[in-house]
Amino acid sequence: MATDRITTLEESPPDDGPQARFYSVIGAGTGLVLLGLGVLVDQAGPISALDIPRLVVGFLAILGAGIGLSLAPGKPFGWAGLGLAFLGASLGFPAEWDSYRMFCRIGAMFTLLFAVGWILPRPVRFVLAGAWILFHFIGILSAVLSPSPQPWSMHQLWVRVYRPYLQFLYMNNAYQFYSPDPGPATMFWCCLEYHLPKDVAPTADKPKRLVQWVKFPTRPTMYRDPLGQSYYRRLALTELASSTSPPSYDVNSQEYQAMQRRRDARRDIPYHPVSDFNTPRFPAALAQRIVLPSYIRHIAWEYPVEGYEIHSLKLYRVLHEIIPVPSFVGKMTPDSNPLSVYEPSSYVPTFQGEFDINGELIDKQEPLLYWVTPILIRPGMKPPLGNPQTWSDEEYAKYYDDSLIRHAGSNHRVTGLQTLKDEEGGSK
Amino acid sequence: VSKSSLPNIPGMNAWNRFWFAPSDPTNIGFIRIMFGALILYVHLAYIPDISNFFGEHAWFDLNSATKERKEFPSNVQPIGWEASDGVYSDDKIESVRLPDALNRRKAVIDFYHSLPANRQDRDKALAFFNRIYARSNPDDFRACLDLMLQLSQSLPEDKALHRESLINLLFPTGAVQRQISSNLPEFIKTLPTEERGKLVDEILAFGEALPADLDELSFVVGYFQIAVRTRVGQNQVWRYMRNLPTDEAEKKEAIDYLNRWDCDPRDPDLVYARGRPTFSFFFHSSNLTAMSVFHAIGCTFIVLFTIGLFTRVSSVFTWFFLLNFLHRTTQVLFGMDAMMMILMTYLVIGDSGQSLSIDRMRARYRAAKALAQGGGRSIPWAEAVLAGPARTWTANLGTRLIQVHFCYIYASSGLSKLKGTMWWNHEAMWPTIANPEFCPVQFKAYEWLLRQLFEYKAVYYMCGGGVALFTLALEIGLPFLIWNMRLRPYLVIGAILLHTGIGIIMGLTIFGCLMLCLLSSYIPAAVIRNRVTWANAKGERLKLRYSSEDDGQVRLAAVIKTFDVAQQVELQVGKKEDLALTTGDGNVVRGEEVGSTARQKLVMLQGFWLLRLIPGFGLFLSSLFRLPKSDENSKASTTPTVSAS
């Protein structure tokens, strides 16, 4: 007996074929049974109790066929088995899991093509593999060239051919890091105003109105893991929502004049000394209508205060300008002090609107909507070097004219809850 | 596929050699381990933020994500000079775009909603618009819209009097021309008398459809005047209003779509496709427990992939798992995630578990067992497996894909920098090293160092120039020069410096590490095998005498040979009681000490010192190298364990 075994082993390694065929058949069979079951159930009407079993069975079918394929990747039956398992799952998964159904359809198409491919003569297989490589890297080129100015041909290729392929693989990045020029980061500062429910009388412990500022991302509180993934992901949140689109006033002078009139009426909020900041900056379309309202709803969800209702959320997009080198080393003027990178006047807040908890803009004609509410060094003042965040309010007010505090009606430098007096509340 | 068995396809041989010539998989195995450890960290870091990023109330909430997934339009330019409706194609883009100002936008949307769903009623309401939008002189169109504004202020409150008043206003019979009639476009003034009544009815119907509020009316009219400032716009707006669905619910959906995405999805010239081909568990389940279970399963697959267990399956599941996270919320992604998917995809294609993996160890064990059972016979396939991982075309393909993609990344990054001014005037360094949101300026020493260093302007510009030139030269030059094997080491070292700098100074540690993983694809597999892992002929020479008749001894011999990646151990067949391990200095170890001594002498296991810190790992290794109990082995274990030969 032992001799037989040794003789066999001398000739070739143990054959995984039977095992592979077993797993492939089991996977494909389970997938096809699931397919039949799924069609029947879907025709009978949704039965939610079966959702999880359908999902689990679908994944087991794919896993089984996947094991079969992994044991014999060079055999067409492995690919065909997995293709059938995917096909079964694509209709066997509950209809509500439509994105998984789509994934399985793509998986089925891909694996069944491979099954056919393995039957073809070897030179043909090599030509096809080479063609795929060419196709793939032309696609990567179309993604790389997708930012403006985009060649017409690449635009057509990108939209009509490659977009679904590369978005599915998440290989649609243009890799234009720190270009054309490296720029400052953006933050969001949000002022949440809480009110006592109408049927509850205020007491000394429970004032009628509270305010809390939420700033993100902030390093000290959001750098939660050693390599700061939680922080950088929040920084990405702000980057995506910070793009602005050219305002339409260039074709609508009436609206521009109306916005300018409303802005001019707020004489208590000075214009920013840098003229670039003195035009209204509309958020880009996607940010304005989809992303920012979603952020607002999330902040409202993440920062509730017990016993209070959220009345409104004022959102500011804050560009954190990088201090120029001469200011940083104190050489801007012969007698100037060096400035910190956290210099308050380097934060440029632009009002994005006051929202309700559903992310709806409360006042679409708020005078400062999409205008900068600047933080400025008072004329003639030379703030000493240090971290202004740690200064007292009196010292801060001595050096800085903070129109954000005036506009919001509360102090953004305070962390945690603040009581809002009746006459306070900022811009009305 | 062996190198010689590549098919001879005229014109494609060099191409085939580049992509498919078999190569040592050590390289791609090494990348897998580094990459796996990194993505495990990235996904463990999600734990406190699962709800914040992927839940129903996430930053980008489920409702918004679903809308984006199902509705996001792919805007496209028509292929020809003319679009399907015959207009110049470039003019069509965004011509139905709504005003940015939200009050104006709302007025237009409300107007669209107020249009009758019934086609006949809608045609009647828009008959005046239909009459004026196609005028060859755009001034006529504007003048007619101005007329609507003026009429809203001029007509009496009593609607019964409208028709009569309007006729008098537009077509006064007296000698004195009124203000309104004097500004009328010529085509109205010259309208035949029998047409005038019809025109007045159309104006009244259109006036009924327009907002009653004066401000809103002016916003809607203003929108028309802007949107239709070209003939294309006139066509677009008219077509949009006319072709709105007749079903009330569908009409509402179409208008809401326009409000959300600023385009008409029913226009094939503008919207090529709707929705995104994305999938995610989190689109369908936002229950925290379910999300956590899914996350745990995914992390398990990452661990399996990293250690290389069932790699062909675990790598595909890891790829699937990663995409579930990435597709759900693109808002929290940055360059690191793009690098992650590049590596993941190519490691799946490259079948990265062929070396430096548990799978490889399992294959070695199978071969070693066959060899040990063979009792000294030559078993070619087993000897081949134990000699080292076979060269495969998948390993080469995976490596090449990474290499070429890396060139794309560098070329795009370098060339796009040339569009800016700061890389030309050498100012680009400062915003990258002094950006408070990225750089370690929270450390006083770093801030102090920057201040001291750039106290002198010349130093600042010399450093800035050096950094800018180094970055540009490397990023633009590497894709072309890296294929020269003499230059490759210098370019790889330069890129390592660049990404180490990015990791430390700009805080993007994981991004930097992933770039280093990509860069590892350029390091020859032999260098990794000899410098990083365990090269042949390293360590002490050992001789293992065992009996091929005893299953326990065969198993122990197979285990020892499995871990003998440096080819230290020579197997010798003897009798059952002869079990012994002869070390390099001539000492002979017998009985149960054979396993433990081999464990200490094998260079591969000496390199596992870090893994021994994992609780239970030492015990696991000991159990592997333990000689199974049998009568003969028990007897052998009673004999002196070490003796000089």
Judge contact between A319 and A348, C-beta under 8 A.
yes
Question: In chain A, whose CA is at the least distance from the CA of B69?
Answer: A99
Does residue A52 surpass a pLDDT of 90?
Answer: no
Q: Which of A152, A180, A342 sits opposite B416 (nearest CB)?
A: A180
Q: Within 13 A of B564's CA, how many CA atoms are on the CB side?
A: 28
**Cβ within 8 Å, pair A155-B460:** no
In what side-by-side order are the strands of the sheet with A309-320? Answer: A347-355, A309-320, A185-195, A209-216, A417-419
Among A269-283, B28-42, B523-537, the minimum mean pLDDT is found in B523-537
Question: In chain A, whose CA is at the least distance from the CA of B290?
Answer: A52
**Cβ within 8 Å, pair B60-A291:** yes
Confidence of residue B386 (pLDDT cuts 50, 70, 90): confident
| Cα–Cα distance measured from residue B593 to residue A79, given in angstroms and rounded to the nearest whole number | 48
Q: What is the 3-state secondary structure (H, E, C) of A133-162?
A: HHHHHHHHHHHHCCCCCCCHHHHHHHHHHH
> CA of B72 to nearest chain A CA: how many angstroms apart?
10
**Cβ within 8 Å, pair A183-B431:** yes
Residue from B370, B366, B368, B372 nearest B549 by CA = B372
| Cα–Cα distance measured from residue B291 to residue A111, given in angstroms and rounded to the nearest whole number | 28
* Choice between B87 and B553, residue whose per-residue pLDDT is larger: B553
Q: How far is CA B253 from CA A287, A312, B8, B249, B258, in A?
A: 20, 28, 58, 6, 9
| Cα–Cα distance measured from residue A421 to residue B610, given in angstroms and rounded to the nearest whole number | 60
**Cβ within 8 Å, pair A290-B64:** yes
Segment B64-75 mean pLDDT: 91
Judge contact between A284 and A292, C-beta under 8 A.
no
Angle in degrees, CA B282, B288, B294, rounded to 5: 55
Instruction: Write down the pLDDT at residue A9.
Output: 44
In degrees rounded to 5, what are phi and psi of residue A203?
-130, 180
Segment B399-407 mean pLDDT: 96
> Omega into A180 within 30° of 0, i.e. cis?
yes
Please state whether beta strands B73-75 and A417-419 pair in parallel, antiparallel, or not at all (unpaired).
unpaired
Instruction: Write down the pLDDT at residue B640.
Output: 44
Confidence of residue B40 (pLDDT cuts 50, 70, 90): very high
B356: how many CB neighbours lie within 10 A of its CB? Answer: 27
pLDDT tens-digit series, residues A8-46:
444 567 777 788 899 999 999 999 988 888 888 877 777
* Choice between B144 and B53, residue whose per-residue pLDDT is larger: B53
**Contacts with A129 from chain B: Cβ below 8 Å:** 19-20, 397
Residue with tokens 């012969």: A334
**Cβ within 8 Å, pair A173-B335:** yes
* Choice between A303 and B92, residue whose per-residue pLDDT is larger: A303
Angle in degrees, CA A31, A36, A40, rounded to 5: 140
* Amino acid in position A148: S
Question: In chain A, whose CA is at the least distance from the CA of B385?
Answer: A13
* Choice between B199 and A234, residue whose per-residue pLDDT is larger: A234
Reported pTM: 0.89
Does residue B594 surpass a pLDDT of 90?
Answer: no
Q: Which of A187, A224, A228 sits opposite B48 (nearest CB)?
A: A224
Name the packing angle between helices B393-417 and B26-44 (round to 10°).
60
Segment B107-124 mean pLDDT: 91
> Omega into A184 within 30° of 0, i.e. cis?
no
Number of H helices, E strands in chain B: 32, 7
Confidence of residue B239 (pLDDT cuts 50, 70, 90): confident
User: Counting one residue from A and one from B, how many pairs have CB atoms under 8 Å apart?
Assistant: 305
User: What three-state secondary structure class fits B166?
Assistant: helix
**Contacts with A294 from chain B: Cβ below 8 Å:** 59-61, 63-64
Please state whether beta strands B542-546 and B569-573 pair in parallel, antiparallel, or not at all (unpaired).
parallel
Q: Is B387 exposed, middle or buried (0-12, 13-18, 19+ CB in 10 A)?
A: exposed
Instruction: Round the average pLDDT of chain A to a whole number and report it.
Output: 87
Structure-derived torsion over alpha carbons of residues B2, B3, B7, B8, reported in degrees to the nearest 10? -160
Confidence of residue B88 (pLDDT cuts 50, 70, 90): low
In degrees rounded to 5, what are phi and psi of residue A400?
-125, 140
What sections of A308-363 are H helices per DSSP?
325-328
Judge contact between B335 and B286, C-beta under 8 A.
no
Is the torsion defined by CA of B234, B236, B239, B245 positive or negative? negative
Instruction: Round the average pLDDT of chain B to a whole number and report it.
Output: 85
Instruction: Write down the pLDDT at residue B627.
Output: 78
| Cα–Cα distance measured from residue B326 to residue B278, given in angstroms and rounded to the nearest whole number | 9
State what percent of residues in chain A have pLDDT above 70.
Answer: 93
Give whichever of B142-146, B435-439, B563-567, B622-626 has the largest mean pLDDT. Answer: B435-439
Q: How far is CA B414 from CA A177, B384, B419, B498, in A?
A: 9, 45, 10, 13
Does residue B639 surpass a pLDDT of 50?
Answer: no
Confidence of residue A4 (pLDDT cuts 50, 70, 90): very low
**Contacts with B379 from chain A: Cβ below 8 Å:** 9-10
Site from A153, A178, A215, A295 to mutate, B interface, most B CB atoms within 10 angstroms: A178
**Cβ within 8 Å, pair B100-A248:** yes
* Choice between B335 and B271, residue whose per-residue pLDDT is larger: B335
The pair of structure tokens assigned to A179 is: 């270009």
Number of residues assigned to chain B: 645
User: What three-state secondary structure class fits A214?
Assistant: strand
| Cα–Cα distance measured from residue B105 to residue B234, given in angstroms and rounded to the nearest whole number | 18
Residue from A385, A342, A316 nearest B436 by CA = A342
pLDDT tens-digit series, residues B581-591:
888 788 888 87
* Choice between B518 and A246, residue whose per-residue pLDDT is larger: B518
Q: Which of B63, B272, B336 sits opposite A160 (nearest CB)?
A: B272
Q: Which of A163, A169, A179 sits opposite B345 (nearest CB)?
A: A169
**Cβ within 8 Å, pair B330-A240:** yes
Q: What is the DSSP letter of A291?
A: I
> CA of A203 to nearest chain B CA: how many angstroms apart?
32
Name the packing angle between helices A51-71 and A17-44 (round to 10°).
160
> Omega into A149 within 30° of 0, i.e. cis?
yes
Question: In chain A, whose CA is at the least distance from the CA of B377?
Answer: A10
Instruction: Write down the pLDDT at residue B536.
Output: 62
Q: Which of A140, A182, A184 sits opposite B405 (nearest CB)?
A: A140
Residue A230 CA, chain-centre distance (Å), reads 13
Q: Which of B58, B100, B334 sits opposite A247 (nearest CB)?
A: B100
| Cα–Cα distance measured from residue B113 to residue B250, given in angstroms and rounded to the nearest whole number | 11
Does residue A63 surpass a pLDDT of 60?
Answer: yes
Does residue A427 surpass a pLDDT of 50?
Answer: no
**Cβ within 8 Å, pair B101-A255:** yes
What sections of A338-402 are H helices per DSSP?
393-399
Residue with tokens 């008409």: B264
Segment B368-389 mean pLDDT: 85
* Choice between B512 and B2, residue whose per-residue pLDDT is larger: B512
Angle in degrees, CA A220, A223, A226, rounded to 5: 130
Q: Which of B374, B418, B431 sits opposite A9 (nearest CB)?
A: B374
| Cα–Cα distance measured from residue A160 to residue A155, given in angstroms and rounded to the nearest whole number | 8
Q: Per-residue b/e over A246-274, b at no fewer than 16 CB within 10 Å?
A: ebbbeebeebbebbbebbeebeebeebee
**Cβ within 8 Å, pair A180-B421:** yes
Q: Which of B12, B44, B283 sits opposite A130 (nearest CB)?
A: B12
> CA of A363 to nearest chain B CA: how many angstroms apart?
9
* Amino acid in position B362: R
Segment B13-18 mean pLDDT: 89
Confidence of residue B644 (pLDDT cuts 50, 70, 90): very low
> CA of A401 to nearest chain B CA: how many angstroms apart?
22
